[in-house]
Structure 1
C-alpha cells in the first residue's frame, strides 16, 4: 500500500466523495476539492466546468487523483452542452496524465441485458448517462498509463451518521403516507457506502491497473427497498412491486461480478440488513 503520497480527491462534497475522503485520510495526505461550500477545512475550490486543474495538482504535489465527481450524470441533462462536457473531460484527464488516476464510473455503462458483468465485458451503454461514462472511461484509458476505473452499483447506508438520500426519501414518504412502486425485475448490486470507500481506498493506494467492479449481492430494486424499510422499522404497506415496461429504455440487469474486488481488497459485502443495523436509527 502506498503511504508517502498526496491524493487530490475531486468531488469531496458528494455522498461517496466525503466518505472516501475520511477513509483515505487515515493513510495518506488528502486534498479534497469542492465546487461550492466546502465540507472539509482543507478543501480547495475546483469547478470542473471552468477551471484548469493543472495549477491545483502542482500546488498539492499530487501523486494520485481520485475523480469522484458525478459530472457524467449532470451532463445527461439536455440543457448541458455535450460538446462542453467532452471538452472539459479531455482537459481534466490530460492534466492528470502523469499521475495515478482513479475514476469512479458506474454500472450504468452496461445495457443490462445479461447481468453479472465482469471487468472484461465490453460496455454497451443505452442511456445518455451511460454514454457519458463510457466517454470518460475512454479518455482515462487514452491519456493515463497508471489508472483504475471503478464501477460501483447502488451505494447506500450511513455516511457520517446520515442515511443516504435515496432511502431517506422513501422512509420519509412512507411515514407520511405516500406510496412507492419499484421494479421487481430491475437488478442491481447494492453496497454499503462505507464498504465501497474501503475497497476504493485500498485500490487507490495499490498498484493495480485496470477496471474493478465494486458492489454487493445482486437483488431487485423492489427487494432492496422492501428489505431496507423493514430493517429501518418502517411500515411497508405503501410499497408495491411492478415489472418494467416492455418499452423501457432503462437497463434491466446491471448486477456486477465482484470476485476481483474481493480478491484485491478482502471486502465481503454486508447484507442490506447488516449495513443498516450498524448505526442506530435516530
Structure 2
C-alpha cells in the first residue's frame, strides 16, 4: 500500500513547491481552505474542521503542516484549542510541522536547534505554542524552521521580491534595515529538504535555511540578479524601539549533516 501523506496548506507559496516534490514519495492528499489548486484536493479549515475521521478513513501515514496559522489575528485561546484539536487527530501519524525563525527574539543570532525559544511577537508566541504541542502529543515528529523563503515557485517569483521589483521599476524609493539579519533560502531547496526529512526517521528540530545576510543586502543582491537598478534602494538602521527581532539568523550545520543540501547563493537561486 502506498505511503499516504496529507499536505495541509498546498495552495501557499511553499505548499505548491512541496506538492510537486512530495508526489514521487507516495500518495499525497493536498488540502485547501478556499480554492483548490491540485486534483484531488480536500477542503480543510484549521479553524472550523475536525480531521479525526478523515485521518482514520484515509489511513494517513504522515501529515505535513505547511499552512501558516500562527500569523492569524485570533484570540490566543482559540488558537490553542484549534492546535490541540489538530494534534489529537494526527498524533499517531508522523508529523512534520513547518515553523519559523520568528520563534526567537533576535538578541543573539546564529541560533541552533538547542537554543531555547524566546519569542517577542504574538506570531512567535503562537509558533512556540504549536511546537510545544507537537512535541508533547506526537511521538514521531520533525519540526522544521525556515527563515525567508524566496525564488520561483511554480514559475512565480515570491511576493517580497516581486513587490520590490515592481516598486523600483515604478521609480519608488525603498528602504531596508542593514542590521536586521535573516537566513534566506530558495523555496525549492527548502521544499527538497522538507521532503528528505519527511521521509527520514529523524525526530527533533531542524533549521532549514541559508547563510546570514542583512535584509538590505538581501534585497540589493536579489534586485541586481533580477536586472533591476538599485539606485532607489536605501539602507537604514533599525530604531531602538522597533518591535521585531533584530537577528534571527539560523545555524544550519544539522541540516547539512542530515540532508547534504548546500544552500544556493542568491545569484544561483534566481537564475535556476
Find the counterpart in structure 2 of residue 31 from structure 1: 29
Looking at structure 2, the residues matched to 159 and 35 of structure 1 have their Cα atoms a distance apart, in angstroms, of 19
TM-score, structure 2 length as denominator?
0.98
Looking at structure 2, the residues matched to 150 and 241 of structure 1 have their Cα atoms a distance apart, in angstroms, of 31
1:219-251 Cα distance to aligned partner (Å, 9 max, x none): 000000000000000111111000000111110
Looking at structure 2, the residues matched to 188 and 59 of structure 1 have their Cα atoms a distance apart, in angstroms, of 41
Which of 72, 86, 94 pairs up with 1:92? 86
Looking at structure 1, the residues matched to 270 and 87 of structure 2 have their Cα atoms a distance apart, in angstroms, of 36
Shift of 1:60: 2.4
Please tell me whether the aligned partners of residues 31 and 60 of structure 1 are also in contact (alpha carbons under 8 angstroms).
no
SS in 1 for 2:205: strand
Looking at structure 1, the residues matched to 250 and 103 of structure 2 have their Cα atoms a distance apart, in angstroms, of 11
SS in 2 for 1:120: coil
Find the counterpart in structure 2 of residue 217 from structure 1: 211
Looking at structure 2, the residues matched to 125 and 192 of structure 1 have their Cα atoms a distance apart, in angstroms, of 25
Shift of 1:55: 1.9
SS in 2 for 1:216: coil
Tell whether 2:15 aligns with 1:17: yes
Looking at structure 2, the residues matched to 269 and 230 of structure 1 have their Cα atoms a distance apart, in angstroms, of 19
Find the counterpart in structure 2 of residue 201 from structure 1: 195
Find the counterpart in structure 2 of residue 60 from structure 1: 58
Looking at structure 2, the residues matched to 250 and 154 of structure 1 have their Cα atoms a distance apart, in angstroms, of 15
RMSD (Å) for aligned C-alpha atoms? 0.9
Please tell me whether the aligned partners of residues 62 and 93 of structure 2 are also in contact (alpha carbons under 8 angstroms).
yes
Shift of 1:270: 0.3
Tell whether 2:108 aligns with 1:114: yes
Find the counterpart in structure 2 of residue 45 from structure 1: 43
Tell whether 2:144 aligns with 1:150: yes
Shift of 1:179: 1.1
Which of 240, 250, 259 pairs up with 1:265? 259
Shift of 1:5: 1.1
Which of 204, 212, 227 pairs up with 1:233? 227
Please tell me whether the aligned partners of residues 8 and 60 of structure 1 are also in contact (alpha carbons under 8 angstroms).
no
Gaps of 5+ in 2: none
SS in 2 for 1:103: strand
Looking at structure 1, the residues matched to 109 and 58 of structure 2 have their Cα atoms a distance apart, in angstroms, of 40
Looking at structure 2, the residues matched to 66 and 176 of structure 1 have their Cα atoms a distance apart, in angstroms, of 39
1:70-111 Cα distance to aligned partner (Å, 9 max, x none): 00012xx2xx22211110011001111111000000000000
Looking at structure 2, the residues matched to 231 and 262 of structure 1 have their Cα atoms a distance apart, in angstroms, of 26
Looking at structure 2, the residues matched to 111 and 81 of structure 1 have their Cα atoms a distance apart, in angstroms, of 22
SS in 2 for 1:73: coil
Shift of 1:4: 4.0
